[in-house]
Amino acid sequence: MAAGKLLRGYLMPFVEKECYQISTLCRFDPDKDLFRDQEQHKFHVDINELLLELLSWV
């Protein structure tokens, strides 16, 4: 998820560096990230590897 990557890569380090506190009601609160666990366990499939695998079955 591009938005999550942006938040974790740029916003959250800035927030921590400047010692800001994000409200637990804020949508950017890391604990409200419903997709974080899913994103951490997702694996990337290279389209070329997938095509080679599919072609090997033919």
Give pLDDT, residue 8: 81
Exposure string for 15-30, b = 16+ CB within 10 A, e = fewer: eeeeeeebeeeeeeee
Q: Could you tell me if 29 and 23 are in contact, meaning their C-beta atoms sit under 8 angstroms apart? A: yes
Give pLDDT, residue 1: 58
**Tally of domains in the chain:** 1
Residue 31: give the domain boundaries.
2-57
CA 56 to chain centre: 32
Give pLDDT, residue 7: 80
Separation between Cα atoms, residue 1 and residue 35, nearest integer Å: 8
Separation between Cα atoms, residue 23 and residue 55, nearest integer Å: 51
Amino acid identity, residue 4? Answer: G
Q: pLDDT tens-digit profile of 13-56?
A: 998 999 998 888 887 787 877 777 777 777 777 888 888 888 98
